Amino acid sequence: MTSAAAPDPAPAAAPEGSRLYRVGTLTYTRGALLQVMFWMLGGDFFFQLMVSLNPALVPLQLRWAGASDSLIGLLGTSLSSALGFLWFPVVSTYSDRFRSRLGRRRPFLLWCTPPVVLSLVLMGAAKPAGGLVYRVIAALGLGSHLTIAGCTIAWIALCLVVFLLFNAFIVQAFACLIVDVIPQESIGKFTGLYRAVGALGNLAFNRWVFGWAEAHLLHIYCLVGLLFAGAFYLLVWRVKEGEYPPPPPKAAGGRLGTLKGYLVDSFGHRFYLKMYLVTFFYWASLAPLSFVVFFGTQAGQPDYAATLGLSLQEFGQVKGWTFVIQIPVFVIVGYFVDRFHPIRVSLLGLLLTSVSYFCCFWFIHGASSLLFWWSLNQAVIAIWLGAGLALGPRLLPRDRYGQFVSANYIFGISSLIIFPPLIGLLLETLRDYRYLFIFCGVLTLGSFAAGILLYRQWQQLGGDRNYAPPQPWLVNPAPAPPPSP
């Protein structure tokens, strides 16, 4: 029997009456599997706490420095998306092919955590750092047209670049590690718990941390960064990877051949393109949400339609409570994902999410209605998030999983390059932040429509009983040998 700490290629029989769980060369008893889940979920809690920082705080930091909605959309989302578009395929392919004593995923968690934490700390120091940079440039007699605000915005952008380059490895490695160490028959329940723990992390940040952002920004970045580092180093120590087969052979033709192989494999089948479109429109629906803090608080532009006028602390408390309702939904949805398949559950979640956004536009008029309708919105989003996270493990090829995850990210990232500045321009034209809910609802409907197309082709490919991931690289397999006489 294999413990949670090490793989055993030839496990002994399980004790009588107990069940063994297998994924690759890893074999777990129920207790060992629960241990692995515990460390993975613990890492996820602090990971979600960490990734909550940038989307929540960077727009505010940019607004405090005097940035417009268009610039906030460009730097807050489009910059990160453009880097991810170019970087994720490199990261994922390298991760799939990497082999080491620690495995193919954990080394990236180990190596990339320190620069991620450092970039967060520097991000928290953006205001004094921007002033320092301005004084240094002024003392040298350079850049007479520069301002402290401009230097602060440039500092934030530079820290974002560093963060995104290294966090790409962590995002990819952590997502792929789930598939490498969690058995497929438990993936729905695990992803439900994974999302529930993530909601707890978001709840903790918004309920008890967000309200202190204006007065204690650097302290927040430092504390969350250190907690994240500690959790991930514990995860690397306690969760072991199994043995992997040799990586697929490299494509002929050097780097150009590798790029061609990546494009043909990842985008050479319409089934995967439909899956990517689901991601494209759903990620696009997230772009307007970076402006929701301006709709809810007093940080909106003075010549726009009236906002709800909440303080940052009041807004953080409302947003924090919206995650409370997600937690039981995530736990429950895991059962339905395993029972009915994530593709069906995800379609229900996308449809209800779109409807809920339109309700937010029509019915939110104060703090109480914001709490009610936003909580309802987050509850139905939880259906999609819990099911959507299980789509990849159920639909994508395992031996090239990171590669296909990155291709999926490319479509999502493309939408986050296109839509944030577009949304910013639309808001500057309409001058009413309430319309962000209309934008979210329409884009989520696009994701639902793509999901219907995906579902129909999944049924054509075998559905529940006989589906196997299409393998475009085997379109022309070698002919079978003739039968023996």
Helix, strand or coil, per DSSP, at residue 171: helix
Distance CA 221, CA 117 (A): 8
C-alpha separations of 415 from 52, 422, 453 in Å: 20, 11, 19
CATH code that applies to domain 24-242+253-464: 1.20.1250.20
| Angle between helical axes of 367-395 and 148-181 (0-180°, round to 10) | 50
- Write down the residue that tokens 């613990």 correspond to: 42
Burial 109-121 (b: 16+ CB within 10 A, else e): beebbeebbebbe
- Provide the residue type at 66 as one letter: G
Give the pLDDT score at 284.
Answer: 92
Domain assignments of the chain as residue spans, ordered by start: 24-242+253-464
Burial of 480 (0-12, 13-18, 19+ CB in 10 A): exposed
Whether 414 and 283 have beta carbons less than 8 Å apart is answered as no
Q: Which residue has the tokens 């919206």?
A: 322
Which class for 466: exposed (0-12), middle (13-18), buried (19 or more C-beta within 10 A)? exposed
Report yes or no: 22 and 183 within 8 Å, Cβ to Cβ. Answer: yes
Indicate the pTM of the whole model: 0.68
Output the pLDDT for position 362: 94
Cα–Cα distance, 407 to 416 (Å, whole number): 14
DSSP 3-state assignment of 400? coil
| Residue 41 vs residues 36, 38, 44, 178, 412: alpha-carbon distances, Å | 9, 5, 5, 10, 25
What are phi and psi for residue 356, nearest 5 degrees? -65, -35
| Structure tokens that stand for 163 in this block | 């963060």
Per-residue pLDDT in tens (0 to 9) along the chain, 485 residues: 333 334 444 444 555 556 888 888 889 998 999 999 999 988 988 888 888 787 778 888 888 888 877 777 777 666 766 776 677 777 777 777 888 888 888 999 999 999 999 999 999 999 899 889 888 888 887 766 788 888 999 899 899 888 988 988 898 888 888 888 988 778 777 877 887 887 777 777 777 777 787 778 899 999 999 999 999 999 999 999 988 888 777 666 666 777 777 788 888 889 999 999 999 999 999 888 878 888 888 766 677 888 888 887 788 778 878 878 888 888 888 888 888 899 999 999 999 999 999 999 999 988 889 989 999 998 999 999 888 888 888 898 877 887 888 888 888 888 888 888 888 889 888 988 899 999 999 999 999 999 999 999 999 999 888 888 888 766 544 444 444 44
